[in-house]
Amino acid sequence: MGVSSLGYVGLSVSDPAAWEAFACQRLGLMSAGTQDGVTRLRLDSRAWRIALHQGSEDDLAYAGFEVDSIEALCELEQGLAAAGFPVKRGDDELLAARQVQQMIITEDPGGIPIELYCGLMDRGNVPFASPAGTSAFVTGEQGLGHFVVSAPDRERFYAFYCDVLGMKLSDKIQMGPLALEFFHCNPRHHTVAMAPVPFPKRIHHLMFEVQNIDDVGFALDRCEQAGDTISTTLGKHSNDQMVSFYVKSPAGFDVEYGYGAIAVDDATWRIGHYDKMSIWGHKGL
């Protein structure tokens, strides 16, 4: 059964107000307000998708993967323990903070705290409205987006993300000795990707996908206008065919902002193999 999508991420940031302004004013996310010192951001009808915690790491603090049922969550709990990964239940305080019904906590092979949960609060009574005019993000069964992690121990990565969490390889991009691998758990081409090289942060980037190419262009204009560092120019990826740009977030790691990725259908999907990241653009990647 495994996990069904990337549901939320928590970021430890030294300047939450700057990250919130970046996310809301430039990328078009919606603030859900600040409670107990934590600022939460929305991308859709869910109560939140991004939590900004005051901290010195300027990095990913935790990632939450959604699980469809309590039965599936129990299976994952057993699978993690059997494979030698740490596992404990989230207490009532944590369930309330995350606005979920049930949760187990583990750690991926790179040391990233991972929360597997059921039932993230929906706030359909307060519709998503982007303060920047972004039309809509691609979420739903595809979750909030994707992130890319460093995985020096490839076998252990596979043991965690594929054997236990149930993700499947979508394709691989081989550039000389360096192979990047991309994994899906729903129609989103990849929810997690990994590179066998160290990164300065836990994630290389976090990706949001919008439903309209103009949303990408408008966001790029707003980032440039605000003086953000555009890490890569607009470009189109070889494997998922997403048209995107990368911008440096106030925490130092990049955000990829794109449109038009192809969807994976497991019934017909064939694992791809590519020799470049992008078919055009993405200068600087």
- CA dist., res. 47 & res. 201, Å (int): 27
Q: Which residues, 242 to 271, sit near Fe ion by CB under 5 A?
A: 256
Closest CA to 240 of 260, 213, 255: 260
Of 210, 213, 59, which Cα lies nearest the Cα of 144? 210
Nearer to Fe ion, 228 or 256 (CB): 256
Query: Nearest distance from residue 76's CB to Fe ion, in Å?
Result: 25
What's the min distance (Å) between Cβ of 85 and Fe ion?
Answer: 25
Instruction: State the number of binding residues for Fe ion (CB under 5 A).
Output: 2
Binding string to Fe ion for residues 152 to 191, with x set by CB under 5 A, is what?
A: ----------------------------------------
CA distances from residue 263 to 184, 199, 221, 247 in whole angstroms, order as listed:
10, 28, 27, 24
Nearer to Fe ion, 44 or 256 (CB): 256
> Least distance to Fe ion from the beta carbon of 148, Å?
6
Structure token pair of residue 47: 């109560």
b/e map 132-157, b = 16+ CB within 10 Å = bebeebbbeebbbbbbbbbbeeeebb
Q: Which residue is listed with tokens 């999508």?
A: 5
* Residue closer to Fe ion (CB basis): 190 or 222: 190
Taking the complex as a whole, how short is the minimal distance between the CB of residue 145 and Fe ion, in angstroms?
Answer: 8
Q: Does 58 bind Fe ion (CB under 5 A)?
A: no
Least separation, in Å, of the C-beta of 227 and Fe ion?
A: 23
> Which of the residues 184 through 243 are near Fe ion (CB under 5 A)?
207
State in angstroms the smallest separation of the CB of 242 from Fe ion: 7
Cβ–Cβ under 8 Å, residues 235 and 220: no
Residues β-bridged to residue 104 = 89, 116
What's the rounded Cα separation, in Å, for the pair 139 and 119? Answer: 15
Q: Tell me the C-alpha distance between 39 and 54, whole Å.
A: 9
CA distance 182 to 192: 6
For residue 181, list its beta bridge partners. Answer: 172, 194
CB 43, min distance to Fe ion, A: 16
Q: Are 19 and 249 in contact (CB under 8 A)?
A: yes
Q: What residue ranges bind Fe ion (CB under 5 A)? A: 207, 256
